[in-house]
Amino acid sequence: MKKINIIGGGIGGLCAAIALRQQEFQVQIYESAPEIKALGAGLALSANAVKALKAIGLDQAILKAGNAFGCLQILTEKGKTIAETDALKVAARYGVGNFSIHRADLQAILMSQLPTEILHLNKKCVDVLARQDSVVVSFEDGSQAEADGLIAFDGVHSAVRQKLLPEVQLRYAGYTCWRAAIHYAPKNFNPKLFTETWGSRGRFGIVPLTDQRVYWFATHNAPRQDERMKNFRPQDLYEVFKSYHDPIPDVISHTKESQLIWNDIVDFPPISRYAFGHILLAGDAAHATTPNMGQGACMAIEDAVVVAKCLASNQDISSAFQAFEQKRKKRTQAIVNASYQLGKVAQWDNPVLSAIRNTLFRMIPEKVNEKQIKNLYEVEF
Ligand SMILES: Cc1cc2nc3c(=O)[nH]c(=O)nc-3n(C[C@H](O)[C@H](O)[C@H](O)COP(=O)(O)OP(=O)(O)OC[C@H]3O[C@@H](n4cnc5c(N)ncnc54)[C@H](O)[C@@H]3O)c2cc1C
């Protein structure tokens, strides 16, 4: 039985462990954090992620824990529609529409599929060494682990990628982001409606979750790692977004400071390789993307399924990882690029340019939108 070590117990790492165990691989996960905590608040997932989850038998459990949308809208700060997607129509075509899930709920389901003894916490990977037919990983605590292959699902700041491709620099998107999941349903709230509002002071997304919970996110143009942004509290965000349509100010004012998560939005330009002999980069470590298309976690889940399939159908690990790179590079990098560009346009704060953008977006023919959705959701593993 071949042994595979996974670095990172996030969404991708946990899904990959499940998929690999189903293919009879012996798997160990090494995670730097002292516990598996839900990093972030909510997530929007789409049909391509569900197709991947179905391949590992988890689609129904995860859909049950999530909230399926009826409609997705992009609005102006006054609440006028810029674009609209009928999620029910998408569901009719692709079997399932977009849905939201609390990160903690998703992680709990993934964790329930794995024996606890394969998850090693407090194991921060600091180095990897390729031997003839194996890979040795070294941890900050001085310990080491060896396996036939190593998959790095260690996120956007991947230590493994930094070792293999030290020249790759993170790219700041130019805007910073706050998120929160709160127990609050605003008055006249439609729990099936996902809205993202584009305005001169930034974007604001409202994503209904289950159990009267709401996940929201806000983006704002700012210098990188800005001290003022770092110290923003809900009251400060209220001041920024108070002129936006309802229920945005109301949602912010029902958010506690302790619920606020802040980070700058970063990705990195497409890299030349994912496969390095018996070492593979996957998920955000290989293709971190800005969250504008809600595809980062979806792609990590797809990666998990594809890598298990490649390993199951190739005797040789380096050939399997090469096959993974071949299958995944074009799709994942196209999404990274499209998402980066979309974010640039969506963050325009010049009122004249924004008005032109909104008009142009309203004119996009239905067929063009449908083609984009097809490209995203119709994925073969
Ligand atoms: C604001 C925001 C909103 C988003 N919204 C969405 C969305 O709606 N839909 C969507 O599909 N995606 C979304 N994403 C993207 C999504 O969160 C990521 O793409 C996804 O989590 C990537 O999964 P991963 O397993 O590759 O990495 P991660 O989930 O980041 O997991 C990496 C794991 O590796 C661990 N780790 C890191 N370094 C080491 C080390 N040296 N040694 C050991 N372990 C290590 C970390 O602790 C972590 O547990 C969003 C991202 C952001 C920033």
Per-residue confidence (pLDDT) for residue 38, from 0 to 100: 66
- Output the domain CATH number for residue 155: 3.50.50.60
Take atom 52 of ligand 1 and give the residue whose Cα is closest. Answer: 291
- CA 248, 249, 253 angle in degrees (round to 5)? 120
- CA 290, 218, 40, 260 torsion: positive or negative? positive
Residue range 308-322: mean pLDDT, rounded: 97
Say whether pLDDT at 223 is over 90.
yes
Of 168, 195, 136, 118, nearest to 287 by C-alpha is: 168
User: Between 11-22 and 296-313, two packed helices, what is the crossing angle to 10 degrees?
Assistant: 30
Give the Cα separation of 308 and 4 in Å (integer): 10
* Residue type at 345 in one-letter notation: V
Residue 344 lies in a domain: yes
Residue 205 is assigned to a structural domain of this protein: no
Ligand 1 site residues, Cβ closer than 6 angstroms? 7-13, 30-33, 40, 43-45, 123-125, 153-155, 159, 177, 179, 217, 283-284, 291, 294-298, 300
Q: How far apart are CA 51 and CA 63, in angstroms?
A: 11
Confidence (pLDDT) at 177: 98
The reply to whether 119 falls in a domain is yes
Sign of the alpha-carbon dihedral angle for 162, 264, 198, 38: positive
Phi, psi at 20, each rounded to 5°: -70, -40
What average pLDDT score do residues 253-257 get?
98
Which carries the bigger pLDDT value, residue 19 or residue 95?
Answer: 19
Q: Residue 39's pLDDT is what? A: 66
Strands 171-183 and 213-221: antiparallel
Residue 242 Cα to ligand 1 midpoint, Å, equals: 30
CA atoms of 13 and 307, how far apart (whole Å) = 11
| Residue 250 included in any domain | no
* pLDDT band (50, 70, 90) for residue 241: very high
Given a contact cutoff of 8 angstroms between Cβ atoms, the answer to whether 51 and 343 are in contact is: no
Given a cut of 90, whether residue 28 has pLDDT beyond it is yes
CB 16 within 8 A of CB 308: yes
Task: Let me know if residue 253 belongs to a domain.
Answer: no
CA of 329 to the centre of ligand 1 (A): 18
Give pLDDT tens digits for 193-207: 999 999 999 999 999
Q: Output the residue whose Cα is nearest ligand 1's atom 2.
A: 291
Overall pTM > 0.95: yes
Nearest CA to ligand 1 atom 6: 294
Instruction: Using pLDDT thresholds of 50, 70 and 90, give the confidence band for residue 37.
Output: confident
Cα–Cα distance, 353 to 213 (Å, whole number): 35
Task: Tell me the CA–centroid distance for residue 44 and ligand 1, in Å.
Answer: 13
Closest-lying ligand 1 atom to the alpha carbon of residue 43: 8
Does a structural domain hold residue 177? no
CA of 368 to the centre of ligand 1 (A): 30
Share above pLDDT 70 across residues of the chain, in percent, rounded to a whole number: 99
Please give the distance, rounded to the nearest whole angstrom, from the Cα atom of residue 362 to the centre of ligand 1. Answer: 33
Q: Which helix (H) or strand (E) holds 138?
A: strand 135-139
Q: Find the mean pLDDT for residues 309-315.
A: 96
Q: Is the pLDDT assigned to residue 359 strictly greater than 90?
A: yes
Give the distance (Å) from ligand 1 centre to CA of residue 11.
7
Which atom of ligand 1 lies at the shortest distance from residue 288's CA? 19
Residue 238 confidence (pLDDT): 98
Point out the ligand 1 atom lying closest to the alpha carbon of residue 282: 26
pLDDT tens track for 62-119: 999 999 999 999 999 999 999 999 999 989 999 888 999 999 999 999 999 999 999 9
355 C-alpha to ligand 1 centroid (Å)? 34
Distance 159 CA to ligand 1 centre (A): 14
Q: For the segment 159-194, what is each residue's pLDDT rounded down to a tens digit?
A: 999 999 999 999 999 999 999 999 998 988 999 999
Expressed in angstroms and rounded, the spacing between residue 359 Cα and the centre of ligand 1 is 34
Neighbours of 148 (CB within 10 A): 17
pLDDT-derived band at 10, boundaries 50, 70, 90: very high
258-292 pLDDT, tens per residue?
A: 999 999 999 999 999 999 999 999 999 999 999 99
- Ligand 1 closest atom vs CA 154: 34
User: Which token pair is 91?
Assistant: 């569901």
**53 half-sphere exposure, CB direction, 13 A CA radius:** 22
Task: Please check the confidence at residue 227 and state whether its pLDDT lies above 80.
Answer: yes
Structural domain span for residue 288: 3-170+267-377
Give the ligand 1 atom nearest the CA of 295.
Answer: 11
- Calculated CA dihedral for residues 188, 68, 332, 11, nearest 10 degrees: 100
Residue nearest (by alpha carbon) to ligand 1 atom 25: 12
Tell how far the Cα of 252 is from the centroid of ligand 1, in angstroms. 25
Q: Where are the alpha helices (DSSP H) in the chain?
A: 11-22, 47-55, 59-65, 87-94, 103-112, 159-164, 227-230, 234-241, 248-253, 284-287, 296-313, 317-346, 351-363, 366-377
- Confirm whether 206 is domain-assigned: no
> Would you state the pLDDT for residue 36?
82
Q: Which residue has the tokens 């959705």?
A: 373
Residue 140 reports pLDDT greater than 70: yes
Model confidence band, residue 380 (pLDDT cutoffs 50, 70, 90): confident
Residue 349 lies in a domain: yes
**Hey, which residues does 49 pair with through a beta bridge?**
none
Predicted pLDDT of residue 138: 98
Specify the pLDDT at position 97. Answer: 84
pLDDT, the chain, mean: 96
- How many domains are there within the chain? 1
- Mutating to test ligand 1, I would choose from 143, 162, 284, 306 the residue with most ligand atoms within 8 A of its C-beta, which is 284
Mapping DSSP to helix (H, G, I), strand (E, B) and coil, where does residue 256 land?
coil
